[in-house]
Structure 1
Amino acid sequence: MDLAEARALFSPDPGWLNTASYGLPPSTAWTQLQAALDEWRHGRVSWEGWGESTARARTAFARLVHAAEEDVTTGAQVSQLVAQLAASVPDGTVVLAPEEDFTSLLFPWLAQRHRGVVVRTAPAAGLAAAITPEVDVVAFSLVQSASGAVADAAAVVAAAQAAGASTVVDATQAVGWLPVDARRYDALVAGGYKWQLSPRGTAFLVTTAQLRSRVVPSQAGWWAGEDPFGSYYGPPLRLARDARRLDLSPAWFSWVGAAPALELLASVGVDAVHDWNVGLANRFLDGLGLAPGDSAIVSVDVPGAQERLAAAGVRAAVRGGRLRASFHLYTTQADVDLAVEALTS
């Protein structure tokens, strides 16, 4: 499917520039979700068909981030997945993270303070230089939520490897528009409800087999079993041999909506989406007389921006006292020009 065909599957009201808060579903996802809800309402079917959507979503996500399916765990939220990693590191582990990073990545590590886990912070732009030999884990976002700044991942990974530290990357604001290769990191986590166009309550974790062997499956239930349908009752513990051992039992309808959305992105290709999104972001910056950037998320300081955009029917966000606008494959040039006109007139 090409970009134009994909864009035809959306019907946003004009002026939606806030995908960094939540993404909009393609008609394929909306239709399949409504059908499942109608089945639920009337009790027409058993649940197994809804559950199969999780496997479809796992397959499509693996394609998006160049991962093997057996390395992909499904969950509900970034913090829920990171918490399993944080709870499994040894006492006294030293974690380094950007001081301005989103708390869903930071809080799980900070919550381990009672057993001596130390969290150090540094500005995101200087993270690589702050990695010292005593650092055990480097946790950072590929794209910063508030500013849209894209991390110098290559520099951070190189410095972490030199120090013998593991890397845990939050790609929530990246997967779906920015080319991402999960194989570069020890762990990559991403929430699905933004750039992946999925319902809230969907998230993924990609881990290496080596890191995964050290993670305690503290949230394991029947769905994490080697044979979920043979794991309903009783001991012994019989978990999946791959990343499914860390799976959380799926919220069915969230995954019914996620599968077609992720399949659409995988079909179109992230490179095409990236070029469209960054092109619109730079059209916006140019309209404000600012230099172009490399992100689909733009942070600008314009007095009264939120009120001026709201009066024009444009929906964006304010983060850190600055206007945050974000552009995805359903955004139009008219949306961009509407926002520019509101901010410059």
Structure 2
Amino acid sequence: MTILDLKRQFSRFLTSEPDRLHFAAHSHSCWPDASQAGQQQAWEDAAKLIDGKWGHVLGAVLPGAQGHVARQLNLPDPESVVFAPNTHELVTRLLSCFPAGQPIRLLTSDSEFHSFARQVARMEEDGLVQATRIPVAPFDTFAARFAAAAKAGGFDLIFVSQVFFNSGFAVEDFSGIAAAAGEAMLAVDGYHAFMARPVDWSRLASRAFYIAGGYKYAMAGEGAAFMHCPPGWGERPRNTGWYAAFGALSAAQDSRTAYAETGWRFMGSTFDPSGLYRFNAVQDWLERDGVTVAMIHAHVRALQDRFTAALPVGPLTAAQLVVPQDQPRGNFLTFELENAAVVQQRLAARKVVTDYRGTRLRIGFGLYHTAADVDALLERIQDL
């Protein structure tokens, strides 16, 4: 596999602290220089258009971002994509689609990200959700076990990650889960997969929601979370902002609150559009230079292979990898360490940025890393 060298495209972030090795590309990727042009354009449009900027944002910037998402996910209709400042906003709108007065019967995993897991846990306290959680481990049987639970039926919502944030394990095929979902709404958290692994959602576009955003591997920063909304599912979320009426019929047939039929039915209200500007600028750069997600993932896997080939190094061994090397995974490696917090802190003292979750140390590899960066990382870990 080929290791790319695109460090020059990230000069502003990488030269701000030249001795720093940023290996948390799974949490906050460095932004390419192209994103600065997007940020500046957002300010200039605001200055030039003032109140009139919203016609441009909603008529050109947002549709442009929808088009980029649709291209990356191979969606049939860009208008199925809705944006929000963060995924929590989108999750709470999904949860508001179900009838009041009875708990939402939920099937999920034991390893979902906090924006969903915390919200569900709080709703359980008030009897608003009845959750069934399937353990992700052992990885090699997860998809089959999860599909079997879905097939047993009795669920209103099925929510599961494509790549799990606390391990990096990736579910490669959702066809079995989708087939077993029955009448339940199906939603997939794709944040750790979008722009990290090639994703073709065309076969599931009419069936499953897909949630991700620009903060991590899309390298565009905050404020550009999105959700693909399959037609006919979740038509009237209770949590709704006035933008959700855009495109709705001018006169509702039955005096009920009107909604758009596209992904706009999940829109909220006024938002900071600068994240969409940055997202578009980064996507335009990648498309212009012919950099595909397949190339990004191959680049990262080559870096990961270079890293793991050197194990054991310092406190890290291959036996500590949470996801074995023969299992599908995302663009970060996770190590099970009793002293993960201590190792992370010692690496930080050596200007190596990683992170940890409990007893798991995460090391993320990105488009701005080279083979030399991996070798430098290995040297600093060896010094621990």
Matches within 5 A, 1:35-46: 35-37=41-43, 40=46, 43-46=47-50
Partner of 2:261: 241
Structure 1 pair 64–6 and aligned structure 2 pair: CA distance change class (3 A):
farther
State the distance in 2 between where 1:150 and 1:241 align: 32
- C-alpha contact (below 8 Å) 1:146/1:320 kept by paired residues: no
Partner of 2:63: 55
State the distance in 1 between where 2:177 and 2:347 align: 42
State the distance in 1 between where 2:106 and 2:256 align: 34
Q: Deviations over 1:122-150 (max 9, x none)?
A: 21233641513223322111111122111
In the TM superposition, residue 311 of structure 1 has moved relative to its aligned partner by 3.4
Matches within 5 A, 1:75-90: 75-90=84-99
Secondary structure of the equivalent of 1:173? coil
In the TM superposition, residue 121 of structure 1 has moved relative to its aligned partner by 1.0
Partner of 1:296: 331
In the TM superposition, residue 271 of structure 1 has moved relative to its aligned partner by 0.7
Which of 125, 130, 136 is matched with 1:124 structurally? 136
- C-alpha contact (below 8 Å) 2:4/2:367 kept by paired residues: no
In the TM superposition, residue 265 of structure 1 has moved relative to its aligned partner by 4.3
State the distance in 2 between where 1:210 and 1:89 align: 14
**Is 270-279 or 300-309 further displaced after alignment?**
300-309
Matches within 5 A, 1:270-281: 270-281=293-304
Which of 334, 337, 343 is matched with 1:305 structurally? 343
Q: Deviations over 1:280-299 (max 9, x none)?
A: 12222222243646431111
Structure 1 pair 181–250 and aligned structure 2 pair: CA distance change class (3 A):
farther
In the TM superposition, residue 3 of structure 1 has moved relative to its aligned partner by 9.1
Matches within 5 A, 1:20-35: 20-35=26-41
In the TM superposition, residue 220 of structure 1 has moved relative to its aligned partner by 2.6
Which of 209, 212, 234 is matched with 1:187 structurally? 209
Partner of 2:188: 169
Q: Deviations over 1:192-246 (max 9, x none)?
A: 2111112212111112112143x4263231465128xx9xxxx995543311222
Please state if 1:65 is matched with 2:73: yes
In the TM superposition, residue 308 of structure 1 has moved relative to its aligned partner by 3.6
Which of 114, 119, 129 is matched with 1:103 structurally? 114
Partner of 1:10: 10
Q: TM-score, normalised by structure 1?
A: 0.85
State the distance in 1 between where 2:33 and 2:364 align: 21
Please state if 1:262 is matched with 2:283: yes
- C-alpha contact (below 8 Å) 2:244/2:260 kept by paired residues: no
Secondary structure of the equivalent of 1:148? coil
Secondary structure of the equivalent of 1:121? strand
State the distance in 2 between where 1:286 and 1:163 align: 40
Instruction: Name stretches of at least 5 consecutive residues in structure 1 with no aligned partner.
Output: none
Secondary structure of the equivalent of 1:199? coil
Structure 1 pair 117–284 and aligned structure 2 pair: CA distance change class (3 A):
same
Amino acid at match of 1:28: A
Which of 353, 358, 361 is matched with 1:323 structurally? 361
Q: TM-score, normalised by structure 2?
A: 0.77
Q: Deviations over 1:40-65 (max 9, x none)?
A: 5xx34332445532221111011111
State the distance in 2 between where 1:238 and 1:135 align: 27
Partner of 2:159: 139
Secondary structure of the equivalent of 1:94? strand
Structure 1 pair 5–60 and aligned structure 2 pair: CA distance change class (3 A):
farther
State the distance in 2 between where 1:238 and 1:129 align: 40
In the TM superposition, residue 37 of structure 1 has moved relative to its aligned partner by 2.9
Matches within 5 A, 1:190-201: 190-201=212-223
Q: Deviations over 1:144-168 (max 9, x none)?
A: 11221112543xx414523514321
Partner of 2:230: 208
Secondary structure of the equivalent of 1:101? coil
Structure 1 pair 159–244 and aligned structure 2 pair: CA distance change class (3 A):
closer
State the distance in 2 between where 1:101 and 1:221 align: 30
Moved over 6 A (4+): none
Q: Deviations over 1:80-135 (max 9, x none)?
A: 10111111124343211111221212234445444643111121233641513223
Secondary structure of the equivalent of 1:18? coil
Identity score, percent:
23
State the distance in 2 between where 1:246 and 1:124 align: 29
Which of 189, 197, 221 is matched with 1:178 structurally? 197
